[in-house]
Amino acid sequence: MIEWFSTLDSTMLEARRDPQLGRVIVADEQTAGMGRMGRVWHSPPGEGLYVSIVMHPSPLLTLALGLAVRSVIGEPADLRWPNDVLLGERKVAGILAQTEGEVVIAGIGINVAQSSFPDGLDTPATSLSLEGIPTTREEVLTALVPAVERFCVLPSEEIRRQFEQASSYAIGRRVRAGDREGVTCGLDSQGFLRLREDNGSETMILAGGVRPI
Ligand code: BTN
């Protein structure tokens, strides 16, 4: 059942207040939208899809969520480990998965109809509308919920394989991750990103994210 609110502080916080498995919480607007690493997710009314889904924990869940979002947006969408969804070099969707007791709250923000974004974003942003993909939040949500169900039950090896195929960042891309620099060389079995540094050593990127150089 989908619960659609006109305004919330954050769909993540609403899910935390009553973390019943299967809740799908949507808001037209969030007054305290949360991004990864303590960032703000700018959530103006009616322009983005802001949704949280209360789910069973499963392996490689955030990667599976990225694949689900990409399947809704379409093939041109790129995935930047661990879970940014990009069109070109611009971010069109973000994913935030938080554990709450026995469940995981999967938060997904998709820029649908924005025509501009605030200055100073960590990654330049775009929206489906700016990219000439006409759709509505309702249509996106209708496709997204079954896609999440489909991708999150895949075996982790399959999630890893599909992510490596879908993401231009997964293999052979020169990136910076924190204070490390190198070329990506795929994901390990737990979904961590492998980075070959210039001195030949291999490092596993466990958290945070990567930026192109
Ligand atoms: C990120 O890329 O930093 C993650 C962004 C996640 C945003 C979504 S919008 C719906 C849900 N509610 C929130 O407050 N955040 C997530």
For the chain, the structural domain boundaries read 2-155, 171-212
Would the pTM of this model clear 0.75, i.e. be above it? yes
- The distance in angstroms from the start CA to the end CA of the chain is 43
Among the four given CATH numbers 3.50.40.10, 3.60.20.10, 3.40.30.10, 3.30.930.10, the one describing domain 2-155: 3.30.930.10
Give residue 12 CA to ligand 1 midpoint distance, Å.
Answer: 8
Distance CA 108, CA 110 (A): 7
Query: Best mutation site among 12, 24, 98, 122 for ligand 1, i.e. most ligand atoms within 8 A of its Cβ?
Result: 12
Handedness of CA 83, 87, 90, 93 (dihedral sign): negative
pLDDT reading at 1 higher than 90 = no
Architecture of domain 171-212: Roll (2.30)
The 10s digit of each residue's pLDDT in 54-82 is 999 999 999 999 999 999 999 899 999 99
Residue 12, ligand 1, Cβ within 6 A: yes
Write phi, then psi, for 147 (nearest 5 degrees). Answer: -65, -40
Report, as an integer, the average pLDDT of 203-213: 92
